[in-house]
């Protein structure tokens, strides 16, 4: 267990170092990125629509082993055996797939197109911890009054490891489309989940690959969710 803890610590340190170069200030970017070299032209071409993205601070981990199939006694034994691993995974996942990484992953996509929205300025917002706000409020969560406005909220970030099904990352998302002009709108909820093969890394050398895999699977999960949305 000590070895496992030290490998997590090393991995977290490596990711922390990787993040040190990633100054991800919350600046608006257009989606898709303008191809012009002239700033004025870029400003003129900035879409009127806005897509505000709220990443999550969440990083949950659930690890279950073979004993989970043996009733309450097995479950107790299994939970006890995996306690430290769950904590380690949760702490590592929280660090590895925190808001900075989510933003990094989502910035690489044409979010508006994926969500079947018109070309939009994408604005990354500060994560909101209170789930009563992120999963229930039908109103706008930013101060923007743009008439063409939508929100994408990441509401779950769950790593699981199961004895039979292996490792996976599951995410839940919400899209709120305010183009109807109303102050409250429906919450279009959905999820995406895909398998992992590298996460969590066992050594520091594996951390970079595991981090990339997490980001790729997060992207895949988002696109899986986005694929279920219908154009309005």
Nearer to other proteins, 116 or 162 (CB): 162
Nearer to other proteins, 116 or 170 (CB): 170
Q: Binding of other proteins at residue 144 (CB under 8 A)?
A: no
Phi, psi values for residue 54, rounded to 5°: -110, 105
Site string for other proteins, 82-101 (x = CB under 8 A): xx--xx--xx--x---xxx-
Measure the CA–CA gap between 134 and 189, rounded to whole angstroms.
11
Q: In the window 65-84, what residues touch other proteins (CB under 8 A)? A: 75-76, 79-80, 82-83
Instruction: Pick the binder of other proteins from 4, 41, 129, 223 (CB under 8 A).
Output: 129
Q: Binding of other proteins at residue 27 (CB under 8 A)?
A: yes
Give min distance, CB of 84 to other proteins, in A: 8
**Helices 2-20 and 71-96, axial angle in degrees (round to 10):** 30
Cβ pair 223, 190 in contact under 8 A = no
Q: Binding of other proteins at residue 170 (CB under 8 A)?
A: no
Measuring CA to CA, how many Å separate 150 from each of 34, 43, 51, 104, 109? 20, 20, 5, 20, 16
Helix (H) or strand (E) holding 30: strand 29-31
Cβ pair 214, 195 in contact under 8 A = no
Q: Binding of other proteins at residue 6 (CB under 8 A)?
A: no
Q: Binding of other proteins at residue 44 (CB under 8 A)?
A: no
Instruction: Pick the binder of other proteins from 7, 30, 31, 56 (CB under 8 A).
Output: 56
Instruction: Pick the binder of other proteins from 35, 145, 181, 183 (CB under 8 A).
Output: 183
SS3 103: helix
Instruction: Pick the binder of other proteins from 141, 168, 187, 229 (CB under 8 A).
Output: 141
Q: Binding of other proteins at residue 200 (CB under 8 A)?
A: no
Measuring CA to CA, how many Å separate 159 from each of 75, 146, 170? 19, 36, 6
Burial (CB < 10 A; 0-12, 13-18, 19+), residue 103, is buried
Residues of this chain that bind other proteins (CB under 8 A): 19-20, 22-27, 55-62, 75-76, 79-80, 82-83, 86-87, 90-91, 94, 98-100, 103, 124, 126-133, 137, 139-143, 158, 183
């Amino acid at each position: 267990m000590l070895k496992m803890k030290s490998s997590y610590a090393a991995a977290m340190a490596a990711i922390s170092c990787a993040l040190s170069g990633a100054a991800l200030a919350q600046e608006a970017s257009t989606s898709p990125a303008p191809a012009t070299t002239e700033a004025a032209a870029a400003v003129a071409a900035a879409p009127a629509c806005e897509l505000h993205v709220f990443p999550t601070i969440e990083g949950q981990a659930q690890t279950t082993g073979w004993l989970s199939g043996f009733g309450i006694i097995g479950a107790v034994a299994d939970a006890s055996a995996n306690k430290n691993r769950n904590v380690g995974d949760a702490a590592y996942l929280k660090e590895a797939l925190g808001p900075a990484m989510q933003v990094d992953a989502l910035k690489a996509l044409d979010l508006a197109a994926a969500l079947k929205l018109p070309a939009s300025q994408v604005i990354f917002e500060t994560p909101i911890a209170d789930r009563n706000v992120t999963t229930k409020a039908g109103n706008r969560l930013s101060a923007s009054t743009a008439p063409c406005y939508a929100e994408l909220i990441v509401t779950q970030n769950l790593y699981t490891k199961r004895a039979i099904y292996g490792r996976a990352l599951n995410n839940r998302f919400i899209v709120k489309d305010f183009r109807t002009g109303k102050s409250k709108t429906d919450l279009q909820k959905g999820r995406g989940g895909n398998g992992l093969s590298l996460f969590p890394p066992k050594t520091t050398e594996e951390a970079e690959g595991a981090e990339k895999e997490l980001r790729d699977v997060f992207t895949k999960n988002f696109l899986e969710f986005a694929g279920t949305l219908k154009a309005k």
